[in-house]
Amino acid sequence: MFHDYHAVLVFLIAGCVMVCAPLLLGALFRPRNPYPDKTIAYECAEDPVGEAQVRFDMRFYTIALIFIIFEVEIALMFPWARIFRHAADVPLALWAGLFFAFIVFLGLVVDWVKGDLDWIKTFRNKRRVQE
Amino acid sequence: MGLLNNTMPANAVTNAVDGAVNWGRKSSLWPMTFGIACCAIEMMAVFAATYDLDRFGAGVPRATPRQSDLIIVPGTVNAKMAVRVKRLYDQMAEPRYVIAMGACVCGGGPYAKWGYNTVKGVHKIIPVDIFIPGCPPRPEALLDGILKLRENISRDDVFRRRRDTAQTLDSAYST
Amino acid sequence: MGMNEREIHALLTASGIDGVGGLEQPDLDPTVVLQPSALVEVMTLLRDDERLAMEMLHCVTAVDREDRVDVVYHVCSFARHHALTLRTSVAKPDDADESWHPEVPSVASVYAAADWHEREQWDLLGVHFTGHPDLRRLLLPPEWIGHPLRKDYVYPSEHGGIPLELDAVPIYERDEREDTPPVAEPRPAGTPLNQPPSAPSARPHAGGKAPAKKEGEG
């Protein structure tokens, strides 16, 4: 049933071997001499202060989320553009596609006004708990 | 050390393998950008265009000891700095090489007799491969030291068992 | 050119500040001698007076002499093109040892440059500047004991595990990769200086061949 995919299996195995073999050989042959002074965090030879794990800034998550939403929109626009020429009802296809883009554009406007796109957030947009 | 390091006798195969490994190690000696005092100026001159170090494969200075093979120690090592130099050397990964550059680092230099705060030679705190005297040594002298280090590395034993050291010294100093 | 040191000294004595002494070595190295009590007042006068206008204190040093400790100040004026050297002294008591600290008023309130200069003198000579905002070690590690530039200072053999002596033993454990010769092999008499101490001429050759000596070199 899968006899067409024998070549893919061979390539898969070869790829795995080509990654794992150097790692394995390296682990066998390279010098291994860990001791406490060697494994502490590098801080320009000073005693390390503070924590090793820094708190991740939430702004990266926000920007990534917005990016994903618009990326999906673009991904959905591609097939629409491809079959546009062959549509039975061209005005309907046009306005349906534009309507979809408009909805997502409204989302962009809301993000923009609320300040989710600003890297440096100003007090104007900060939600105050007490007035 | 690794699984097969220094376990095999010297024969045609291991000589060739060690030669290849040593060639790789000596041709890409990545130094650390580490300068303490006046000798660092001459070291910077060696990194720069006129006395180009890149032609020996060593022109990729790394700022972190984790990625460097070679630490050139240029400049007087004080008691305060000695702690940091030792820690930097400790944080380098094997195989690691040390060049002591300058009179202060080789044996105290001008501070050998009356320096109350200086380490009289960085070989008191870290093992040194090459000593380059001079105050400061000319850039050509540092290049000579790096070439000597490459010669030493080419004689290194990676897979072969370590040869008798006294015999090596004899053969190095006799004709 | 501005006033010479005799004129400045005359101005200082005429100002009526208690504790201004004489002018030492007026031909060689004119130095105004002061009592420590007059220090801050004289410095303020030097800085604020129109004819003197010493804007810059460019050095504060201390000298450890047999019977006293001097603190020397160098001030200069860019506007008037003249400079002056001043000196205060604190006599050493007979039982002065490393725990004795001469006390001198600090001029950090007059000249901001004095801040670190006085810290350096505290660090190296142990001169205690009263009224200094933050008198602590500047150059040496903060946990250093003693004041090194004193004449009776005993050099430490190690500090924080770091050996400081010329013939100290290395602190690391040598690994088997002994490419470098061991430390401090004595050089036998008669070995030419252009050969290392472990040269073949100094000890018997392991191979049994006569070594080829390079004579006439070096």
- C181, B169: Cβ pair inside 8 Å? yes
- Which amino acid belongs to residue A35? Y
What is the distance between the alpha carbons of residues C89 and C84, in angstroms, rounded to a whole number? 17
Its CATH architecture, for the domain B12-153, is 3-Layer(aba) Sandwich (3.40)
Given a contact cutoff of 8 angstroms between Cβ atoms, the answer to whether C31 and C72 are in contact is yes
- B87, A32: Cβ pair inside 8 Å? no
Mean pLDDT, chain B, integer: 88
pLDDT tens, position by position, B17-48: 999 999 999 999 999 999 999 999 999 999 99
Q: Which residues of B touch A42 (CB under 8 A)?
A: 64-66, 91
ipTM summary value: 0.74
Which residue, chain included where needed, has tokens 């030291």? B145
Structure confidence at residue B170 as a pLDDT band (50, 70, 90): very low
Cis before B136? omega within 30: yes
Q: In the complex, which subunits touch B with 3 or more CB pairs below 8 angstroms?
A: A, C
CB proximity C198 to B under 8 Å:
yes
Q: What pLDDT does C173 receive? A: 67
Q: In the complex, which subunits touch C with 3 or more CB pairs below 8 angstroms?
A: B
Dihedral over alpha carbons B99, B108, B77, B28 (to 10 degrees): 0
**What are the structural domains, with CATH classification, of chain C?**
5-141 (3.30.460.80)
Torsion sign over Cα A31, A36, A41, A46: negative
Q: What pLDDT does A37 receive? A: 84
pLDDT tens, position by position, B64-91: 999 999 999 999 999 999 999 999 999 9
Which residue, chain included where needed, has tokens 């901001």? C112
- Single pTM value for the model: 0.73
Low-confidence ranges of chain A (pLDDT < 70): 1, 123-131
* Domain ranges across chain A: 3-39, 58-125
Inter-chain contacts counted by CB atoms under 8 A, chains A and B = 39
CB proximity A32 to B under 8 Å:
yes
What is the distance between the alpha carbons of residues B6 and B25, in angstroms, rounded to a whole number? 16
Q: What pLDDT does C53 receive? A: 92
pLDDT tens, position by position, B89-127: 999 988 899 999 999 999 999 999 888 999 999 999 998
Q: Which secondary-structure segment (H or E) carries A77? A: helix A58-83
- Which amino acid belongs to residue C66? E
Residue among C140, C164, C200 whose CB faces B173 most closely = C200
Residue among A29, A40, A44 whose CB faces B2 most closely = A29
For chain B, list residues whose CB is within 8 angstroms of any CB belonging to chain C: 79-80, 82-83, 86, 107-108, 112-113, 115-120, 123-129, 152, 156, 162, 165-170, 173-175
pLDDT tens, residue order, chain C (218 aa):
788 899 999 999 999 888 999 999 988 999 999 999 999 999 999 999 999 999 999 999 999 998 999 999 999 999 999 999 999 999 999 887 888 999 999 999 999 999 999 999 999 999 999 999 999 999 999 999 999 999 989 999 888 888 998 888 888 765 544 444 444 445 566 655 555 545 444 444 444 444 444 443 33
Cis before C192? omega within 30: no
Q: What pLDDT does A43 receive? A: 87
For chain B, list residues whose CB is within 8 angstroms of any CB belonging to chain A: 1-5, 64-66, 83-88, 90-91, 93-95
Return the closest-CA partner of residue B3 out of A31, C175, A23: A31
- A33, B94: Cβ pair inside 8 Å? yes
List the single residue in B with minimal CA-CA distance to C214: B175
Return the closest-CA partner of residue B136 out of B47, B70, B34, B41: B41
Return the closest-CA partner of residue B136 out of B64, B60, B67, B51: B51
Q: What is the DSSP string of B30-76?
A: -BB----STHHHHHHHHHSSTT-SGGGT----BSSGGG-SEEEEES-
What is the distance between the alpha carbons of residues B59 and B49, in angstroms, rounded to a whole number? 10
Tokens of C189: 């008499």
CA terminus-to-terminus distance, chain C: 56
